[in-house]
Amino acid sequence: MRKALVTGSSRGIGKAIALELARRGYALAVHYAGNQAAAEATAAEARALGASQVVVLGADLSSAQAAQKLVADANAALGGLEVLVNNAGITRDTLLIRMKDEDWDTVIATNLSAIFHTTREAIKLMMRARWGRVINISSVVGLLGNPGQANYVAAKAGLIGFTRSVAKEYAARGITVNAVAPGFIESDMTAKLPEQVVAEYLKQIPAGRFGKPEEVAKAVAFLASDDAAYITGQTLCVDGGMTPH
């Protein structure tokens, strides 16, 4: 069975992705940045769902060295690495004139530069196998923009361009590189939003509801499968129809 690393998989969308791959029998590396207990809980659920093997790895992805080492550690622990899901990300939201250099640099390092470092290391392994899947979790705000998130949006938009370029470089090697752009997804954060704010968000979504993490996870699992072998360089919006195409 395929072997996958899912970054930021201790909670939220990343956890849902790890559990969906577990249901399909993948060997998994569950990654966390700060909450090892949550990652261990995800790993336990993944084992119960049928994952062939699960390891838990910690790394601060804002560090280039740590990001590169994470891929090497996942490869060593699983005995190979064929699927990389770049999901981990952070926010430091504020208006541009209030945004500190650190707010910009940390978000870009974690949400964009880290993907460069993990993907470069993983691609080397995939080239040897002449098979691989890289799935980058972007966001609809990378396509639409969003006030107060210039750093986050820049990273997510950059991720889409990165995806297209790398896809073209390695398509002939049996490696696909795609992005998934979630819209408003149910989470601990959205659960705390005032009703009026939720109502305003829902007006932007033709489907009339927030998405579920599991719906994003199923899209990722499809792109990781053999069924998606002829799909590369694409951005799949999982957003209830809110992004114009």
Q: What are 13's two structure tokens?
A: 């969308």
H or E element, residue 214: helix 213-224
Cβ(111)–Cβ(90) below 8 Å: yes
The verdict on whether 26 is a catalytic residue reads no
Neighbours of 191 (CB within 10 A): 9
Could you say which DSSP state residue 245 is in? -
Distance CA 235, CA 212 (A): 18
**CA–centroid distance for 114 within its chain:** 11
Sheet order of strands, 235-238 included: 53-58, 27-32, 3-6, 83-86, 132-137, 175-182, 235-238
Cβ(56)–Cβ(43) below 8 Å: yes
Q: Residue 55: CB partners within 8 Å, gap ≥ 6? A: 28, 29, 30, 43, 74, 77, 78
Distance CA 5, CA 180 (A): 16
Catalytically annotated residue among 26, 32, 152, 170: 152
Neighbour-count burial of 7, counting CB atoms closer than 10 A to its CB (0-12 exposed, 13-18 middle, 19+ buried) = buried
Question: Annotated active-site positions, please?
Answer: 152
